[in-house]
Amino acid sequence: MDNDHADPVELEALRAAFDVDEGVSALGWEAVHVFEARHGIVLPEPYRSFVAEVTDGSCSGPPEFGPLGLEEVPDGEGGDTAERALSRPFPLVEEWLWEDDGRPEDEIELLVEQVADHGTVVLGTDGCAMDWHLVVTGPHRGHVRHITDVGAVPFGAEFGHTTAAPGFAGWVAHWAAGKDWFDAEANA
């Protein structure tokens, strides 16, 4: 997983996975650079090239309701990307189920807020508070997270829940292959 250079083969696979409009709905590089400067980040590749050259949101592709635009969050979450702290590092490096956490409630609430608002862009939703985020800052930059109302689970074979490659390209390829998101658990 290379977060700093787009692999042309990965970009072609991403184009093929989405029913898009030959780049008409893409943001373009100038808009991506403005977004990055405003938030003090550099988006990880190949997502960065994807929103600049392929599409900034779509009706097709993962997750269930298609990918959101770079500035969007799912309905019901309130606010938008402009109100989120993307330059603050995403606070987790492993799975966390806060409903099972024994810490004081105020401490858990603060960390849940950071998980939802720090260091990620929202890729999209499967509905019912089951959202997919791409980590853009912190030690897990480039990794995808499944964040729900009860916890945050990292995506990629190295974390044990799926057979997929890590990162945005691995997440999309897994979906395009028609695999269940958490197929490692089904195969165990």
Instruction: Identify the CATH number of the domain in which residue 139 sits.
Output: 3.40.1580
Between CA 103 and CA 122 the distance in angstroms is 27
Q: pLDDT by residue (tens digit) across 108-161? A: 999 999 999 999 999 999 888 899 999 999 999 999 999 999 999 999 999 998
Q: Taking residues 60-70, report their average pLDDT.
A: 86
Residue 64: inside a domain: yes
Does some domain include residue 63? yes
The confidence score (pLDDT) of residue 23 equals 65
User: What does the pLDDT read at residue 107?
Assistant: 94
The model carries a pTM of 0.92
- Note down the domain range covering 75: 8-178
Q: How many domains does the chain have?
A: 1
Q: Which of 61-70, 107-116, 172-181 has the lowest mean pLDDT?
A: 61-70
- Concatenating the DSSP letter of every residue in 134-158 gives EE-SSTTTT-EEEE-SSEEEEESGG
Q: Is residue 188 part of a domain?
A: no
User: Regarding predicted confidence, which is higher, 94 or 81?
Assistant: 94
In a domain, 131, yes or no: yes
Alpha-carbon span 158 to 116, nearest angstrom: 23
Q: What CA–CA distances, in Å, run from 115 to 91, 123, 154? A: 6, 14, 12
pLDDT mean over 182-186 = 79
pLDDT-derived band at 74, boundaries 50, 70, 90? confident
**Residue 29 covered by a domain:** yes
Bridge-based pairing state of the strands 131-135 and 120-125: antiparallel
- Tokens coding 178: 């028609």
pLDDT band at 61 (very low <50, low <70, confident <90, very high): confident
Which SS3 state, helix, strand or coil, does residue 121 take?
A: strand
